[in-house]
A and B are shown apart, each in its own frame.
Chain A
């Protein structure tokens, strides 16, 4: 720590802790020093430093000394804590304690569009970016919540308003109830970011990729503002943004992939984020390890499903059932992988469940010291509060808890939670306890009485024999007792009051007749805890069974059909098959194919097996290059459209590739090897594409095709003019095809001017949207344009020609057959549906002969899916080019392989069986254009990601694993565990018209 920070710290401590000194006094001021000595305790000075029989001395809210043989200063109140344990109190790094409630105002999707921020004042344009929001300005003590937190052992927290994409800064506060001036330790402790726009009613962003683009642009805007922008305008949001950049940056994520996405942004702008995780990090632990070090993780482990009904149980998904079993091991797995973790109560529906969850994590392998570390010094460091809290060291705050013993044991109780030298009682110290067996005497009558503690309060009964007892209502407070009861079998009872003397009690009371009497109770000893013993035994036996029945494995992805060991590229020798080369050789009968090192090594007749090759008899079968889907919306996280503005060129599907989509595997089973993941069609200028190979199980980054050209989605017609969006959406420009043209002319004009400005050497604001458009102008990014009507297709080609580039692909292009000649001379390809039509007015003139007519006019034609189901059988769609219009089978096959490869500029290494190209090949059971053909094996880069034989085995494994987990859940139920009704996530299937807010309808939105 530098001297300056020390100085600042010293000054801050002075001001914050004694803030109340500046206040006027009413009467004599309180000048007590709060000097205490806690003796004979077991003290955890830090998570890994335990001192037996030690003393802790505090004064004025701070620790004076701690250790064995510490001298007790005069004037200290001495508290003997023999048999008790003192821990540093816990630190909550992720909390909205004391923050105002954030309520969503009217507006948003239900109402009229809201293009700009509703926040009044000299702030930025987007309502979800609010770096100027300081938690310290809004912090107020909330005694109900602070008490709840103290009960769990917490003494300090970083609080922030959990709303928005830039959520502003957090403040470190202690969880005392005195006065904000004392509790507030640190303002601007960290800047908090997320991908969620929260209560913002502004339309943008409506998707995850929109959030990502907004964050990136804000970083750029901050840089621009610092040097140039501030000369032109005052923008309090950007000023605040720049100010918070030197703080720790906490990024809040909702799932494992969002961590990777956040880290990617951080990498671009030189930020290393502290990550708030979601608890599923173990599912992508290696990828996360390579980009993050410090994580705040929740302990909201899911409950078991109630799966008694076998049909209903089918709704439960294997991944969720496995997560139920594995989630508690997340903390220990992260520790083992070398992460620094802090645990948070955030995410728990009932905070009181926190310790139970901690014990689950410990049962699942988390060491107690690691747990304590994750509750104390780690979060303290993360929020920059380790000079105050996290350990018990002289000079630090007197923030500690007194517990009955090991804090991680179920029976352990927290007695007191001290915050800055102030005692808060959680439960009575056992000196006060009256638990035990007593002989209760009234006259000559002696009753056996047992007093136990339930929920922190005494509970008593009279025991007559094994099965008969009577309840005694008992109250106890500081030596004074009241009892009332009616003994079993009698009508009249007693009301007694008395005092405690040593362990025995005595006093006076009244019987039902109103006569006064004397009574006494003599302590006989402890109550045997049979109940607890039972439970411990039960737990042990459960554990034994668990290890016998095994635990779920982490597969990649964490879905059914995932793998546990990364598959490798094979050397394969397929013999005697019908081979569709897509090259000059055409279709070869009885030919061989060899792949090795991820590439096609040879194709021809009479080849011989290379060393170590797996030989596959291809007799009667067909080998082709893999299917490429030019238009797909699978494997995308949280929104396929950022359709809130006429142009969203700055957003990119590549940022939101979702490797954990079961449709990837399903499509491999249909022979698909690569897909262009396109933005939707909600606006004229959509977003950038992600082009992936279906490398099942690999991370999003690994799925992307390296070096592929950049593409962007454009769209024309009904969707972009919002024809079918209802009456509220009639204000965004454009609402007609006339307006669509002007949107393009406008944006390309601005992009030209932008390019000129950049070239001039003058300072400029880097604009991600215009960057993408400039790339188009310079033929470094290529358009795939959703299109139907010939008029608008003509228009876009004209606009492109005027701006000196060409449109790469018209996708859908159902009226391409009308302008195929113009398309051909422009040099644009057509990627169409084989036979879709009649789903909206602009496709009334569609015909399945479209593909063949365009093909005959020399247009490069592809058939695409735009649909997760259809993509499983694009081979059949290709056959329709033969059926409707008589394209040759060889050419038709290219519609779903070589031609989409050409349209995506991938044909130099994909799309045909040519030695040297990628080994993306499919072995078909039958003629690939036939409805009866099945993809038997699919290789991508020589890796066999799908094999029908293996699939069968995996299906059997899935059923076995489900059965095992169901059995375990039934056991959990019979053991009295907390259960929940079966549920599952809604499987999202996007098509290009899907807006994130739309309910699924029966109409097609393509």
Chain B
């Protein structure tokens, strides 16, 4: 009883700290970190057992079985990760992270602007680094995210962001790296709720596609011009033609993917397919045009009733096996803490495990043009990585112990843990009452 009281007093004393703990963005790396004994998933398909990693100033210096350590023992932050796994920070693509806090509360929704053509609209401006969602997502290993404006037509520009930072300026990894286009639907839903018309061919599809191509051609012409009166939209499109930006086209059908790719090639821009449910049917085509796919979440229902019941589980694996550059995406916002498990699902249904990891690390980095600095555990790259008790793709073993973004230690606490602690304290109080 006495012991219990002591514990209670102790608890009471530390409670305020627990309850009001703030999640503070990581400070610049000051001490070299050496991790030893881990199974390192490099991100490029390689695995190194019993590996060590050394990083300083936010940059990975050495990775391998035997490192050459020149630092003195005291200047090293040594972490024994024996039996643990180490991964490059997972990258979530095609998300609304930081652009919405509560889906149903309009005041918090900042991912969809009005108007059909908004290439000038930039997602990073609305990125809320204080969103309670971000820490919950990185707790499971997702450390970076592509944030995208959504909507019909051209919805705006995406950026790659760190899921930690004081504001969007220091969270940004690469700004305005993509322009997002929703491809017209070739089949559309008809009727209304009382008399549903089913899914029918969209008669206006041809016209709608034509309009997009004309818009692209205008933008291409504009890019070569230097008019006195600037057009903000066309200015934003310029990057597509000097290849500093990619065109992300959201579409799912085999025919619409082909149409989008052919259009992009005709106007001379680099294209990435987002969605890509049926991309597995045209892998040769995608390879011959060197088009990557940011795939819808594997944990989805088949889009055709007659499709194999586990087709969405298998799609990522089929794409990877065929040699298409594939990134697995969760989409949406708070759901991204499950991105590792979406990836695990693909492994359960035939995707090679390291290829699956690649699909949320190096491939996203390649697609967004940051693979020189991110996406794998290789010397010279950013120290954006985490240590996990076990296999990070399995919810059974996904339990992070440490994480770093650009060498900055990430606080793995989050809103969920804080709430849990608060009410665990309630029940402790009740016990003593």
Enumerate chain A interface residues (CB-CB to B < 8 A): 109, 309, 311-312, 314-315, 317-319, 559-561, 662-663, 665-666, 669, 718, 723-724, 817-818, 820-821, 835, 837-841, 843-849, 853, 856-857, 868-870, 872-873, 876, 879-880, 882-885, 927, 929-934, 951, 955, 958, 962, 981-987, 989, 996-999, 1002-1004
Are A841 and B423 in contact, with the CB atoms below 8 A? no
Q: B219-230 interface mask toward A, CB cutoff 8 Å, 1 = contact, 0 = none?
A: 000000000000
Give the distance in Å from the alpha carbon of A177 to the alpha carbon of B385 in the complex.
86
Q: Write the nearest CB–CB distance from B250 to chain A, whole angstroms.
A: 12
Give the distance in Å from the alpha carbon of A989 to the alpha carbon of B194 in the complex.
16
With A841-B104, A930-B394 as contacts: A983 and B304 at CB distance below 8 Å? no
Are B104 and A1003 in contact, with the CB atoms below 8 A? yes
- Residues of chain A with a CB closer than 8 A to B415's CB: 847
Give the distance in Å from the alpha carbon of A931 to the alpha carbon of B417 in the complex.
23
With A311-B253, A984-B198 as contacts: A817 and B423 at CB distance below 8 Å? yes
B194-232 with Cβ < 8 A to chain A: 194, 196, 198-201
Q: Write the nearest CB–CB distance from A542 to chain B, whole angstroms.
A: 25
- Residues of chain A with a CB closer than 8 A to B396's CB: 879, 882-883, 927, 929-931
Are B348 and A932 in contact, with the CB atoms below 8 A? yes
| Beta-carbon nearest neighbor of B333 in chain A | A838
Give the distance in Å from the alpha carbon of A364 to the alpha carbon of B100 in the complex.
58
Q: Write the nearest CB–CB distance from A125 to chain B, whole angstroms.
A: 21
Q: Write the nearest CB–CB distance from A1003 to chain B, whole angstroms.
A: 4
- Residues of chain A with a CB closer than 8 A to B301's CB: 663, 666, 868-869, 987, 989
- Residues of chain A with a CB closer than 8 A to B150's CB: 1002
Are A853 and B348 in contact, with the CB atoms below 8 A? no
Say yes or no for B242: interface residue by CB 8 A criterion. Answer: no
With A847-B415, A1004-B103 as contacts: A853 and B423 at CB distance below 8 Å? yes
With A560-B306, A982-B201 as contacts: A931 and B189 at CB distance below 8 Å? no
Are B416 and A847 in contact, with the CB atoms below 8 A? yes
| Beta-carbon nearest neighbor of A856 in chain B | B427
- Residues of chain B with a CB closer than 8 A to A989's CB: 301
Are A849 and B420 in contact, with the CB atoms below 8 A? yes
User: Assuming A662-B305, A879-B395, A1002-B332, what are 15 further A-B pairs, CB within 8 angstroms?
Assistant: A311-B278, A312-B186, A665-B309, A669-B309, A817-B420, A817-B423, A818-B423, A841-B105, A847-B415, A931-B394, A932-B347, A982-B201, A983-B201, A986-B196, A987-B305
Say yes or no for B419: interface residue by CB 8 A criterion. Answer: yes
Are B200 and A981 in contact, with the CB atoms below 8 A? yes
Option from A821, A873, A984 in Cβ contact (under 8 Å) with B199: A984
Option from B102, B199, B395, B424 in Cβ contact (under 8 Å) with A986: B199
Are B187 and A315 in contact, with the CB atoms below 8 A? yes
Are A869 and B300 in contact, with the CB atoms below 8 A? yes
- Residues of chain B with a CB closer than 8 A to A880's CB: 395
| Beta-carbon nearest neighbor of B191 in chain A | A986
With A927-B396, A1003-B104 as contacts: A318 and B334 at CB distance below 8 Å? no
Give the distance in Å from the alpha carbon of A662 to the alpha carbon of B419 in the complex.
39
Option from B105, B189, B307, B338 in Cβ contact (under 8 Å) with A840: B105
Q: Write the nearest CB–CB distance from B7 to chain A, whole angstroms.
A: 17
Q: Write the nearest CB–CB distance from B355 to chain A, whole angstroms.
A: 15
Option from A931, A984, A997, A1002 in Cβ contact (under 8 Å) with B344: A931
Say yes or no for B393: interface residue by CB 8 A criterion. Answer: yes
- Residues of chain B with a CB closer than 8 A to A986's CB: 189, 196, 198-199
Are B419 and A817 in contact, with the CB atoms below 8 A? yes
Closest 9 CB pairs of A and B: A931-B344, A849-B420, A840-B104, A997-B193, A847-B416, A838-B334, A847-B419, A1003-B103, A879-B395
Say yes or no for B82: interface residue by CB 8 A criterion. Answer: no
Are A835 and B338 in contact, with the CB atoms below 8 A? yes
- Residues of chain A with a CB closer than 8 A to B305's CB: 317-319, 559-560, 662, 984, 987
Q: B320-338 interface mask toward A, CB cutoff 8 Å, 1 = contact, 0 = none?
A: 0000000000001110011
Say yes or no for B287: interface residue by CB 8 A criterion. Answer: no
Say yes or no for B345: interface residue by CB 8 A criterion. Answer: yes
Are A985 and B196 in contact, with the CB atoms below 8 A? yes
Q: Write the nearest CB–CB distance from A376 to chain B, whole angstroms.
A: 34
Are A934 and B424 in contact, with the CB atoms below 8 A? no
Say yes or no for B114: interface residue by CB 8 A criterion. Answer: no
A sample of 19 cross-chain residue pairs with beta-carbon separation below 8 angstroms, ordered by A number, consists of A311-B255, A315-B304, A317-B305, A318-B305, A319-B305, A559-B305, A662-B305, A817-B419, A840-B103, A848-B416, A849-B419, A853-B424, A873-B345, A931-B341, A982-B201, A983-B199, A987-B305, A997-B193, A1002-B103
Option from B189, B338, B344, B419 in Cβ contact (under 8 Å) with A845: B419
- Residues of chain A with a CB closer than 8 A to B255's CB: 309, 311-312
Are B394 and A821 in contact, with the CB atoms below 8 A? no
B96-117 with Cβ < 8 A to chain A: 101-105
**B104, B132, B424: most-surrounded residue (chain A CB, <10 A):** B104
- Residues of chain A with a CB closer than 8 A to B309's CB: 561, 665-666, 669, 951
Are B348 and A934 in contact, with the CB atoms below 8 A? yes
Enumerate chain B interface residues (CB-CB to A < 8 A): 101-105, 132-133, 150, 186-187, 189, 192-194, 196, 198-201, 253-255, 278, 281, 299-302, 304-310, 332-334, 337-338, 341, 344-345, 347-349, 393-396, 398-399, 415-417, 419-420, 423-424, 426-427, 430
Give the distance in Å from the alpha carbon of A853 to the alpha carbon of B423 in the complex.
8
Give the distance in Å from the alpha carbon of A985 to the alpha carbon of B334 in the complex.
31
Option from A821, A876, A885, A983 in Cβ contact (under 8 Å) with B420: A885
| Beta-carbon nearest neighbor of B398 in chain A | A883
- Residues of chain A with a CB closer than 8 A to B333's CB: 838
- Residues of chain A with a CB closer than 8 A to B348's CB: 931-934
Give the distance in Å from the alpha carbon of A997 to the alpha carbon of B302 in the complex.
24
With A560-B305, A838-B334, A847-B416 as contacts: A876 and B196 at CB distance below 8 Å? no
Are B281 and A931 in contact, with the CB atoms below 8 A? no
Are B416 and A884 in contact, with the CB atoms below 8 A? yes
Give the distance in Å from the alpha carbon of A248 to the alpha carbon of B32 in the complex.
90
- Residues of chain B with a CB closer than 8 A to A314's CB: 278, 304, 306-307
Q: Write the nearest CB–CB distance from B418 to chain A, whole angstroms.
A: 8
- Residues of chain A with a CB closer than 8 A to B198's CB: 983-986
Option from B196, B308, B337 in Cβ contact (under 8 Å) with A955: B308
- Residues of chain A with a CB closer than 8 A to B338's CB: 835
- Residues of chain A with a CB closer than 8 A to B103's CB: 838-840, 1002-1004
- Residues of chain A with a CB closer than 8 A to B426's CB: 818
Give the distance in Å from the alpha carbon of A915 to the alpha carbon of B326 in the complex.
48
- Residues of chain A with a CB closer than 8 A to B281's CB: 311
| Beta-carbon nearest neighbor of A818 in chain B | B423
| Beta-carbon nearest neighbor of B348 in chain A | A932
**B187, B306, B416: most-surrounded residue (chain A CB, <10 A):** B306
Q: Write the nearest CB–CB distance from B111 to chain A, whole angstroms.
A: 10
Q: Write the nearest CB–CB distance from B79 to chain A, whole angstroms.
A: 22
- Residues of chain B with a CB closer than 8 A to A843's CB: 102
Give the distance in Å from the alpha carbon of A309 to the alpha carbon of B420 in the complex.
55
**A723, A835, A840, A996: most-surrounded residue (chain B CB, <10 A):** A835
Are B427 and A849 in contact, with the CB atoms below 8 A? no
- Residues of chain A with a CB closer than 8 A to B278's CB: 311, 314
Q: Write the nearest CB–CB distance from B431 to chain A, whole angstroms.
A: 10
- Residues of chain A with a CB closer than 8 A to B332's CB: 1002
With A873-B345, A989-B301 as contacts: A821 and B427 at CB distance below 8 Å? yes
- Residues of chain A with a CB closer than 8 A to B394's CB: 879, 930-932
| Beta-carbon nearest neighbor of B297 in chain A | A869
Give the distance in Å from the alpha carbon of A180 to the alpha carbon of B394 in the complex.
76
- Residues of chain B with a CB closer than 8 A to A318's CB: 305-306
Give the distance in Å from the alpha carbon of A726 to the alpha carbon of B416 in the complex.
30
Q: Write the nearest CB–CB distance from B82 to chain A, whole angstroms.
A: 22
- Residues of chain B with a CB closer than 8 A to A885's CB: 420
- Residues of chain B with a CB closer than 8 A to A985's CB: 196, 198-199
Give the distance in Å from the alpha carbon of A617 to the alpha carbon of B187 in the complex.
47
| Beta-carbon nearest neighbor of B199 in chain A | A984
- Residues of chain B with a CB closer than 8 A to A934's CB: 348-349
- Residues of chain B with a CB closer than 8 A to A883's CB: 395-396, 398-399
**B200, B299, B423: most-surrounded residue (chain A CB, <10 A):** B423
